[in-house]
Amino acid sequence: MAEPAKIAVSNQKGGVGKTAVAINVAGALNARGRDVLFVDLDPQGNATENLGLRDEYDSEPPSLFDILSDAEQRERISELVCQHEEMAVIPSNIDMTAVEPELTLARRSGEQLALALEHIENEYDYVIIDCPPFLGNLMDNALYAAQNVLIPALAEDTSKRAFELLFDHIDALERDYEIAIRERGVVVNRIDVRKTQAKDMIEWISDAFEDTPVWEVRERAAIQRALANGASIFVEEPDCDQLEIFENIATDLDAQFDFQEVTA
């Protein structure tokens, strides 16, 4: 099988919907027949919990911490893979809260996730990486491994500053590692159409990201409910009116990454 498409779902701002978008994009890709590997790189393990893998968060070593901080354990990443009904998952772990300083000390500190994923990634069409809410070594590992970003953001004024910080960070990483990171889309999330600010911000974002698709996801209780029940809306809330948006995202990503129409 060919190399998978790898996408980091990034924004250092918390609560913008990285985890919600990552899980629902993964669910949409699965519904299209794609094999998805989901990596929860947030030490808080929200996605791990939202995918019903809470026990894994407290599991014994080796955990993702060991895979990222000890080169001799790297190959054991295959032992971490859990099977969710929609996707394969590499869960986060309580030990991940201690990984930042470990990575600072490591040689090739930003490359550890990429080196580990090499052992398993070819079994999948997509690797979706849910990023932590800070610009540090873990974020670098996600961006370096994926070299593609999908950016969830709120339709609020604070998003301008968040984009600025994120792109400064991406620019620096591109220079340091001599790589190119591509923006695959922006997901304006949790839109409340009753707020006038929302409309202005969507316009601002669409202008700022001229050559990048910008999708709009509304604030919906069904999205929250699905996560609380351990899966994407495709499984838990198939009547949610935002399903179509995630289908569009998946279709567009398939086109961007030159996937052929699924025939099976």
Q: Is 74 in the site for ligand ADP (CB under 6 A)?
A: no
Q: DSSP 3-state assignment of 186? A: strand
Residues 6+ apart with CB under 8 A from 13: 133, 153, 154, 158, 159, 162
The nearest distance, CB 251 to Mg ion, in angstroms, is 24
Tokens (6 digits) for 55 = 């026990």
Among positive and negative, which fits the CA dihedral 51, 213, 117, 139? negative
List the interface residues with ligand ADP, window 21-50 (CB under 6 A). Answer: 46
**What residue ranges in 25-181 does DSSP mark as E strands?**
36-40, 82-83, 88-90, 126-130, 148-154
Nearest C-alpha neighbor of 228 from the set 94, 88, 52: 52
Q: Is 159 in the site for ligand ADP (CB under 6 A)?
A: no
Stretch in the footprint of Mg ion (CB under 5 A) among 12-20, 74-82, 207-215, 235-243 = 12-20
Contact flags string 187-206 toward ligand ADP, x per CB under 6 A: --xx----------------
Give the integer Cα–Cα distance in Å for 130 and 174.
20
Q: How far apart are CA 76 and CA 233, in angstroms?
A: 32
Cα-based distances in Å from 90 to 7, 10, 102: 15, 17, 19
Report how far residue 250's alpha carbon sits from residue 244's, in angstroms, rounded to the nearest whole number.
10
Give the one residue of 6, 34, 84, 220 binding ligand ADP; rule: CB under 6 A: 220
Which residue of 11, 30, 46, 159 would you call a contact of Mg ion, by CB under 5 A? 46
In angstroms, the CA 189 to CA 121 distance is: 29
For 101-232, list the strands marked E by DSSP: 126-130, 148-154, 182-191, 214-218
The residue among 181 and 227 lying less far from ligand ADP, judged by its C-beta, is: 227
Residue 46 or 63: the one with the smaller Cβ distance to ligand ADP is 46
The nearest distance, CB 45 to ligand ADP, in angstroms, is 11
Q: Does 224 contact ligand ADP by CB under 6 A?
A: yes
Kindly state the smallest distance separating residue 26's Cβ from Mg ion, in Å: 13
Q: Is 161 exposed, middle or buried (0-12, 13-18, 19+ CB in 10 A)?
A: exposed
Residue 18 CB, shortest distance to Mg ion, in Å, is 5
Among 96, 117, 223, 250, binds ligand ADP (CB under 6 A): 223
Q: Taking CB under 6 A as the rule, does residue 14 contact ligand ADP? A: yes
Among 7, 8, 20, 245, binds ligand ADP (CB under 6 A): 20
**Among 27, 91, 110, 133, contact with ligand ADP (rule: CB under 6 A):** 133
Choosing from 4, 17, 27, 230, the residue that interacts with ligand ADP (CB under 6 A) is 17
- Output 46 or 141, the one with its CB closest to Mg ion: 46
Judged by the rule CB under 5 A, the positions of this chain that interact with Mg ion are 18-19, 46
Residues that bind ligand ADP (CB under 6 A): 14-20, 46, 133, 189-190, 217, 219-220, 223-224, 227
